């Protein structure tokens, strides 16, 4: 059997270093009057860290799992139940159609920039068209990561590169209470992706790449492409068991396949075409269906003009505004065809000789 390589993990923090890091969240002088209480809480957190209490609340997985007696995180089970419910609603032709509109810009007027983003404005143009088509528009505004309280998308830990079955669907890496890795927004975001019949991603180009907020979400969606819906089959995070499962033959299930998508990428100097291509390639890989040429857009707004006047540049660019509306119209039309069973999917029924 393939071996499990070890030797990279750092040594655990010493008590003093842990205490200093824990108390870093309470620098506000107002907390001083509760210093004794905080010291007691810090001790509880230290014990959880030492004992590795990642999931302090667990229950037996129950029927339908490879090992029904294995204790799973209650939080994970709750997320899985919501995802299963969303998937059932997605399949039901009687439910209203839904399009998820993802704002990938981290800028909004509730954080340091003090001004809304052009990305958000473009999203609103699309939202009007989606709603005009009698489709529910679900706005996922990733700028809340910069302006919402204790809201996080924690980074992907790369479990899939150890073995695909170690990457659970939905992700079971978080929350990790022992390490203080809580407040993970992805538990809700997974459900919203599953519920959507269509998805439109809106983003600016940051240094020729996706924004950090968008990339965090993209990486954490890796479990939707081949992820293991049964953590009991690997008894949590046991790499040797996961490797053995994959070597026996893994089906790499595509949990979001069949939804339609559109992409809007904008910038002011460079990088829009490559980023649009990267995002479309990613969505194609996950089994989503593009809504046609009109649904894949990359444009410059205020090319090499000052940042300060970029909103005015968008005001004047009526062409790009109409192109964004067309992205939404194309996705709305594709969703209608999808739900009527009339959306052709090229390659449907073909089996991939090298799935991964």
Average pLDDT over residues 57-80: 98
- As a whole number of angstroms, the distance between CA 306 and CA 42 comes to 48
Indicate if the pLDDT at residue 305 is higher than 90: yes
Q: 327-346, pLDDT tens digit by residue?
A: 999 999 999 999 999 998 87
Average pLDDT over residues 80-101: 98
Predicted pLDDT of residue 344 = 84
Predicted pLDDT of residue 304 = 96
- Using pLDDT thresholds of 50, 70 and 90, give the confidence band for residue 179: very high
- Using pLDDT thresholds of 50, 70 and 90, give the confidence band for residue 90: very high
Average pLDDT over residues 86-99: 97
How many other C-beta atoms are found inside a 10 Å radius of the C-beta of residue 254?
16
- Sign of the Cα pseudo-torsion (299, 294, 283, 187, in order): positive
Indicate if the pLDDT at residue 355 is higher than 90: no
Q: What are phi and psi of 206, to 5 degrees?
A: -110, 110
Give residues with Cβ within 8 angstroms of 317, minimum separation 6: 301
- Using pLDDT thresholds of 50, 70 and 90, give the confidence band for residue 230: very high
**Three-state DSSP class for 152?**
strand
Predicted pLDDT of residue 351 = 84
Indicate if the pLDDT at residue 161 is higher than 80: yes
Pairing of strands 260-267, 289-290: parallel
Token readout for 43 is 């001790």
Is the peptide bond between 170 and the residue preceding it cis, with omega within 30 degrees of 0? yes
Average pLDDT over residues 12-19: 97
Length of the chain counted residue by residue? 356
- As a whole number of angstroms, the distance between CA 71 and CA 81 comes to 16
Predicted pLDDT of residue 315 = 98
Query: How far apart, in Å, do the first and last CA atoms of the chain sit?
Result: 20
- As a whole number of angstroms, the distance between CA 215 and CA 209 comes to 9
CA angle (168 as vertex; 339, 55 as ends), nearest 5: 125
- As a whole number of angstroms, the distance between CA 142 and CA 154 comes to 13
Predicted pLDDT of residue 347 = 81
Q: Percentage of residues in the chain with pLDDT exceeding 70?
A: 100
Token readout for 74 is 């209650």
Predicted pLDDT of residue 308 = 97
- Cβ burial of 115 (10 Å; 0-12, 13-18, 19+) is exposed
Tell me the average pLDDT of the chain.
97
Number of H helices, E strands in the chain: 11, 8
Predicted pLDDT of residue 269 = 96
Question: In this predicted model, which residue has the larger pLDDT, 347 or 205?
Answer: 205
Question: In this predicted model, which residue has the larger pLDDT, 350 or 8?
Answer: 8
Within 13 Å and on the Cβ side, how many CA atoms surround 306?
3
- As a whole number of angstroms, the distance between CA 166 and CA 2 comes to 14
Predicted pLDDT of residue 356 = 80
Predicted pLDDT of residue 323 = 98
Predicted pLDDT of residue 2 = 85
Q: 240-258, pLDDT tens digit by residue?
A: 999 999 999 999 999 999 9
Predicted pLDDT of residue 275 = 98
Task: Give the C-alpha distances (Å, rounded to integers) separating 171 from 90, 104, 117, 202, 353.
Answer: 20, 21, 30, 24, 27
Give residues with Cβ within 8 angstroms of 249, minimum separation 6: none
Residues 228, 167: contact at Cβ < 8 Å?
yes
Indicate if the pLDDT at residue 290 is higher than 80: yes
Indicate if the pLDDT at residue 1 is higher than 80: no
Residues 311, 118: contact at Cβ < 8 Å?
yes
Average pLDDT over residues 286-293: 96
321 forms beta bridges with none
Question: In this predicted model, which residue has the larger pLDDT, 196 or 345?
Answer: 196
111's enclosing H/E stretch is: none
Indicate if the pLDDT at residue 354 is higher than 90: no
DSSP states of 168-192 as a string? BSS--S--BGGGTB--BTHHHHHHH
- Using pLDDT thresholds of 50, 70 and 90, give the confidence band for residue 110: very high
**Three-state DSSP class for 221?**
helix
């Amino acid at each position: 059997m393939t071996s499990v390589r070890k030797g990279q993990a750092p040594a655990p923090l010493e008590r003093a270093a842990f205490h200093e890091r824990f108390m870093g969240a309470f620098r506000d002088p107002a907390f001083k009057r509760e210093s004794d209480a905080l010291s007691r809480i810090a001790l509880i957190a230290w014990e959880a860290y030492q004992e590795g209490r990642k999931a302090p609340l667990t229950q037996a997985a129950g029927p339908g799992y490879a090992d029904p007696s294995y204790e799973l995180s209650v939080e994970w089970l709750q997320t899985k139940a919501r995802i299963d419910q969303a998937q059932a609603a997605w399949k039901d032709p009687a439910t209203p159609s839904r399009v998820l509109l993802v704002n990938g810009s981290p800028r909004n007027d509730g954080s340091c920039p003090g001004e809304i983003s052009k990305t958000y404005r473009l999203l609103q143009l699309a939202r009007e068209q989606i709603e005009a088509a009698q489709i529910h528009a679900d706005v996922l505004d990733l700028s809340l990561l910069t302006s919402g309280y204790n809201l996080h998308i924690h980074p992907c830990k790369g479990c899939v590169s150890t073995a695909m079955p170690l990457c659970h669907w939905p992700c079971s890496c978080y929350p990790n209470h022992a390490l203080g890795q809580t407040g993970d927004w992805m538990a809700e975001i997974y459900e919203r992706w599953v519920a959507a019949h269509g998805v439109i991603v809106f983003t600016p180009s940051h240094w020729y790449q996706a924004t950090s907020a968008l990339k965090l979400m993209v990486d954490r969606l890796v479990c939707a492409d081949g992820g293991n819906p049964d953590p009991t089959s690997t008894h949590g995070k046991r790499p040797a068991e996961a490797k053995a499962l994959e070597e026996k033959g893994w089906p790499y299930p595509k949990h979001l396949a069949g939804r339609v998508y559109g992409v809007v990428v904008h910038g002011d100097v460079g990088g829009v075409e490559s980023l649009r291509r990267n995002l479309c390639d990613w969505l194609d890989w996950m089994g989503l269906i593009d809504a046609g040429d009109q649904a894949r857009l990359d444009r410059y707004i205020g090319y090499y003009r000052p940042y300060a006047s970029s909103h005015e540049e968008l005001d004047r660019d009526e062409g790009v505004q109409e192109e964004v509306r067309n992205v939404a119209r194309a996705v709305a039309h594709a969703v209608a065809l999808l739900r009527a069973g009339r959306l052709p999917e090229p390659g449907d029924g073909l089996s991939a000789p090298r799935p991964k």
